[in-house]
Structure 1
C-alpha cells in the first residue's frame, strides 16, 4: 500500500465488532482517527504530596495506608475510608460504590488517591477520587496521564491501550508522514506532526501542565493549525471545483431597462451599502461560472430589494429566478411584495407552497415549466419532483441556515440542464456571521454585507421586565393602541407543556381578549393553514387588528411599519438570534419603538447573560459575536443543518492568528503542493467533505 492510500484510508481497526461499534460512536473508524483522539485533559500522577502539605483547590496525588473502613447509611449510604501517611490523614468518601470496593479497600492496604482535597464534615477529605491499590515504593508515572473522551462500555484503560498500540505499532506505513511542505513548517516554526501527536498522548515529565491544559503548547498549536488548514483546503477546493462549472452569463443590459423602471416605482432610495452589494452580485452574475454568494444584512437592512434586483438581471437575460424561504409566512410576504413590485413591469410571479389547492398548484407548475412565470417564490415545495423550470438562471435562498444541506442542493440541481449549466446561487441571512466564523466555515463562499440600515428607521428601545410587573405591560399596550399604534405579543409555545411551564399563545390570546375588550386581538401560530396565516397577517397589516398574539412564526420577514411595540413572553427561554430577529419586527416605521422582554425568575446563569447582551446591544454582528462565545460554532451554525464538519481542537475566539495563517497557506498548497493538500484533507476529514459542495 502506498503512503498516500495509508493517509486516506487507514485500515479498519483490528478489534472485536462490539468494540468497533463503540469506537464508531466516538467517530473512530481507523488508526488515524485513534491517533487523533487526543486527550481532553491530563492528570498529574508524577508527584505524591504529603497529606498535610498538599495544596488546596487543585487536583493532587497522595499516598497512604487505609487505617479505617466503614459503610455509613446516614445521611445517605456511603463508604468512608481514612487514609494516613507520616504527615497526617484524610477521608476518602465514595457515595456510589460496589461491595467489591468495600473488600478491596480494606484496613492495611496502601493506596494512591488522585483528587481535590476539600474540608467537609469529616475534616480534610477527597470525594470520589481516582483510587489505586499500590505496593510500597511502587514507581510513579513518568509522564502526565491523558484523559480521553469516552462512551459507555469503553473505559479509559481500553482506549489508552488501543491508542498506544497505534502510536507504537501502527500497521499503516507512512501513517504519521508529514503532509505539510518543509517551507511552511519552517515559516510558521511548527513542530513535526508525529512529534506533536506523541507529545499530546504522552507528555514528557518536564512539560508545562498549564500549556497542555490551555491548549497553548506548541504541539497543540500544530494540531490546531493542521485542523484549520484541512478545513480551509477543503473549502477552497470545492470553491475551485464550482468555479470550473459553467453558468449562464447574465449580462447587464446597457439600458438597464427593467432595473430603471423598477427603481422608479419605489418611494425610497437605495442605501450606499445596498448599491455596493448589488454591484458585487451583478458582477458575479455576468461570469460564466456559477456565483455562490452569501448576502448578510441585519434585520431590516433591505436584503429583499437586493434579491429583487438580482432576479431582474436574470429575467432580462431570459432566465428564471427562484426565491425559497423557510416558512410559509415569510414566503408569502416575499410573494406579496415581489408581485406588487414586478406586476407593473409585466413579470408574472409564481407562488408554490405545501398547503396549496391542487388546481392552483397545477396552474403554477405549468407556468413555471413554460416560462410564463419568470420568478417562482415558495417554501421547500420549490424543489419537489413535480417542479420543472423552463430555464432557471438564479436560485435565491432566504435564511439559508434554516434549510438542510439536501434541500439547498436540491434547488440548485433543479436548474441544471442537460448541457450541464448550473444556476447562480445567492444565499441570504439576517443572522450576521462573526468574522472568524465566516473565515472558517464560509471560506468557500463570496460574502457581501449590507452594513447600514435605511434612513428613517427608528431605534428600538429594549426593556427587561419581570413577569411580576405584567400589569405595567398591559397599561403600556393600552396606551400604544390608543395612539393608533399596533402591538405584537409573542409566545414561544402553542400547547401547554408541564416541563417548560410556558404560557401558551391560545391561553394568552383568551386572557388578552378579556383584558382589552375594546381592541381587536388576532392570533397566528404554526398550526394554522397557510391561508389562515396569510389572512390574519393581512388584517394586521391593514390595521384591522391592533394586538397580534403570535408564536415565533413571525420571526423573519414580517413587515408592518405601524407596529411599534412588541412584548416577548418568557424571553429567558429564547436564543439571542431569535430575540434579535423578533425585535426587528418593530422599529420598521418612523415611530419610536419598544421591545419588552418579559422574563420569569429565577434566571439561570446563561439566561441572565443572554438577556444582558440583547439589552445592551442592537448591532446584529456584535450580538452574533457574543452568541458565538456563549454557544460555540456547532450550535450557532446548526451543525446538522449545515453539514460542515465541526472543529474539534481549534477555538475560533482563541486561535484567530492560526486561522489567518491557515487561510493564506491553503491556496499556496493547492497551487504548489496539490498532492500534499489532498493527503492533508483526507487525513483530517476523510469522507466528511460530502456536503461542502452545497
Structure 2
C-alpha cells in the first residue's frame, strides 16, 4: 500500500522507486537488487526482505521504519548498518514500545507527535464485555450490520493449540455464520496464500463480505470506511500496541466506530481506581494467575486487567505508550530487550522523571564542553563508561 501510494508521487518528481518483498520471483528480485546496488533506484519500499544480507545500497542516506514496534532492535540496527556512514533514521508508530519511549526521556531521540484527528473523524467508543456478556456485544454488532455497516471479529490464533486452548478464527467463522445469518462471513488469517488474502480483503472493501473474521493480520493495511465495529475476542491476550492498531481499523469514515473487547478477567474497574502498580506487584494473591498473550509471553491477570482498563479510557497512542512504560518497564536502552524492568539499583524511570531530565541536561552540557571526554577531570568518567558498556554503546543509538 505504501508503494502504491508513493510511486505516482515520486514518478511525478522524476524519482525512481521500487518494491522489494518476499515472494518475488528470482528474476524480479535480481532486477530489484541490481537497481538498489547500482543507485539507479533512489527509493526502495520493502518489508523485512530489506534486511537480507544480499541487499546492498549504493548510498543509503535515509531509513524510515513504519510500524516500528514490529521490528526488533537488532533488525533496525541491520538497516542502518547497510550504509558506510550513519544514515538519518525516522521511526514511526502509533504506540511507541517502552524502550523507545524511555529513549525519548533520555534525550536520544527527537520526537514529533501527531495528536489530532483528521477532520470529521469521531473518537472510537471502546467497550469492555466479560465472556458472560458476549451476547450483548453481538447485539451491538448486529445493530450496526442491519444499518448497512461492516465489522471485524479478531481472534489471537489460527488453529487449535495445545499451549493456548482458544477458539480460533476458522472455528469462530462457522459459529458466526449460524448466528448472524443471512449476513456474509469471510475469513482472513496469516496462513492463507497471498493471493487468497488479497481476494478476501478486496471482497470486504467491495462490501461483498459483512463480517471479516480474522487474526491480527488486519492490524495494519486495511482501510474500509464502512467498517464500524472491531470486536476482539480474548482481548486480555493482546498488548496495548496491538489493541490500539486494531481499534484504528474502524471509525475511519463518517460513522461512529466501536471497539468491543471480550475478555475473561471478570470485572475491570476504571483505570484511575485500580490499585497502585507497585502495591499490586508486592501482593501475592490468587489473582496472579499467569495467562499467555498472543506472542506467547507470560503475563499476570492483574497486568492484563490494567492494560484493558487504561485502553478503554484512552485513545491517545502516545499516552497509552506512557502507561505501557509504567506497566511493563522500559527494557534496556543499551541492549535488545524492548520492555521489562530496567537494571537501576535505586532509580525508578516513571517516578524519577524530573531527576532524569536534570541528569540529561547535565550530560548534554558536559558533552558540549568536552565531546570526546578528553579533559583530565573526565578521565574516570570515560574509563568507567567504556569498561562497563563499551560493547553495548552502539545499541543506545538504535531507536
User: Scaled by the length of structure 2, what TM-score is found?
Assistant: 0.79
Q: How does 1:44-193 map to 2 (within 5 A)?
A: none
Q: Which residue of 394, 412, 416 maps to 2:62?
A: 394
Does 2:133 align with 1:429?
no
- Shift in CA distance, 664/464, structure 1 to aligned 2, threshold 3 Å: same
Pair 541,565 (structure 1): closer, same or farther in 2 beyond 3 Å: same
Aligned match of 2:21: 353
**Higher RCO by CA contacts (8 Å cutoff, separation 6 or greater):** 2
CA positional deviation for 1:494: 1.1
- Whole-angstrom distance in 2 between the partners of 1:577 and 1:480: 26
Whether the 8 Å CA contact 1:486–1:546 is kept in 2: the answer is: yes
Is the 8 Å Cα contact of residues 152 and 229 (structure 2) preserved in structure 1? yes
CA distance in 1, matches of 2:205, 2:121: 18
Count of equivalent residues: 356
Matched, 1:681 2:345: no
Mapping of residues 107-506 of structure 1, within 5 Å: 333-339=1-7, 341-342=9-10, 347-416=15-84, 421-432=85-96, 437-441=102-106, 443-506=107-170
User: Any conservation in 1 of the 2:334–2:396 contact (CA below 8 Å)?
Assistant: no
Residues 235-262 of structure 1 deviation map (CA, whole Å, 9 limit, x = unaligned) = xxxxxxxxxxxxxxxxxxxxxxxxxxxx
If the length of structure 1 is used for normalisation, what is the TM-score? 0.47
Q: CA deviation at 1:343?
A: 5.2
Distance of 1:403 and 1:387 partners within structure 2? 18
C-alpha spacing 1:657/1:427, structure 2 compared with 1 (3 Å): same
Q: Report the CA distance between 1:394 and its aligned residue.
A: 1.8
Give per-residue Cα distances to partners, 1:328-377, cap 9 Å, x unaligned: xxxxx322332355455565432211222323323333443455543211
Q: Distance in 2 between matches of 1:638 and 1:524?
A: 39
**2:169–2:215 CA contact under 8 A, matched in 1:** yes
Identify if the C-alpha distance between structure 1 residues 658 and 500 changes in structure 2 by more than 3 Å, giving closer, same or farther: same
Residue 491 of structure 1 and its aligned partner are, at CA, apart by: 0.4
Of the three residues 655, 659, 666, the one matched with 2:363 is 666
Q: Measured at CA, do residues 540 and 391 of structure 1 come closer, stay the same or move farther in structure 2, by a change above 3 Å?
A: farther
Q: Work out whether residues 644 and 691 of structure 1, in 8 Å CA contact, stay in contact via their aligned partners in 2.
A: no
Rg: which structure is higher? 1
Q: Deviations over 1:573-606 (max 9, x none)?
A: 2222221221111122121111111112547333
Counterpart-to-counterpart distance in 2, 1:676 and 1:589: 60
d(CA) in 2 for partners of 1:639 and 1:489? 37
Q: Where in structure 1 are there 5+ consecutive unaligned residues? A: 1-332
* Preserved CA contact (<8 Å) 1:565 1:593: yes
Structure 1 residue aligned with 2:191: 527
Shift of 1:492: 0.7
Structure 1 window deviating more from structure 2 (678-687 vs 487-496): it is: 678-687
Distance 1:566 1:355, change over 3 A: same
After TM superposition, give the deviation of residue 498 of structure 1 in Å.
Answer: 4.0
Q: 1:544 to 1:393 in 2, by over 3 A?
A: farther
3-state SS, counterpart of residue 429 of structure 1: coil
| Separation of aligned partners in 1, 2:167 and 2:335 | 30
Evaluate the alpha carbon distance shift between residue 338 and residue 645 of structure 1 in structure 2; reply closer, same or farther with a 3 A threshold. Answer: farther
8 Å Cα contact 1:523-1:549 kept in structure 2:
yes
Deviation per CA, 1:29-73: give whole Å up to 9, x if none.
xxxxxxxxxxxxxxxxxxxxxxxxxxxxxxxxxxxxxxxxxxxxx
Partner of 1:611, secondary structure, is helix
1:564 Cα shift? 1.0
What's the CA shift string for 1:181-202, capped at 9, x where partnerless?
A: xxxxxxxxxxxxxxxxxxxxxx
Cα 1:565–1:446 change in 2 (3 A) is: same
Q: Compute the displacement of 1:659 (Å).
A: 0.6
CA contact (8 A) 1:369 1:388 kept: yes
Q: Does the CA contact (< 8 Å) of 2:184 and 2:209 recur in 1?
A: yes
1:643–1:691 CA contact under 8 A, matched in 2: no
* Structure 1 residues 14-35: Cα deviation after superposition (integer angstroms, max 9, x where no partner): xxxxxxxxxxxxxxxxxxxxxx
2:216 to 552, 557, 560: 552
Task: For residues 276-300 of structure 1, give each alpha carbon's deviation from its aligned partner in whole angstroms, at most 9, with x where no partner exists.
Answer: xxxxxxxxxxxxxxxxxxxxxxxxx
Q: Residue 369 of structure 1 contacts residue 389 of structure 1 at CA under 8 Å; is this kept in 2? A: yes
**Is the alpha carbon distance of 1:573 and 1:409 closer, same or farther for their aligned partners in structure 2, counting shifts above 3 Å?**
closer
Deviates more, 1:337-346 or 1:389-398: 337-346
Deviations 1:209-265 (A, max 9, x none): xxxxxxxxxxxxxxxxxxxxxxxxxxxxxxxxxxxxxxxxxxxxxxxxxxxxxxxxx
Whether 1:568 aligns to 2:232 is: yes
**Alignment CA distance shift 1:361-1:433 (3 Å):** closer
CA deviation after TM superposition for structure 1 residue 534, in Å: 3.1
2:258 to 586, 594, 604: 594
Give SS of 2:121's match. coil
The C-alpha deviation readout for 1:305-324, integer Å capped at 9, x for no partner, is xxxxxxxxxxxxxxxxxxxx
Asked if 2 retains the 8 angstrom alpha-carbon contact of 1:354 and 1:379, the reply is yes
Does 1:510 pair with 2:174?
yes
- Correspondence 1:618 to 2:315: yes
Shift of 1:396: 0.8
How far has the Cα of 1:674 moved from its partner?
4.1
How far apart, CA to CA, are the structure 2 residues paired with 1:642 and 1:436? 10
Provide the aligned C-alpha RMSD in A: 3.0
Gaps of 5+ in 2: 268-300, 371-376
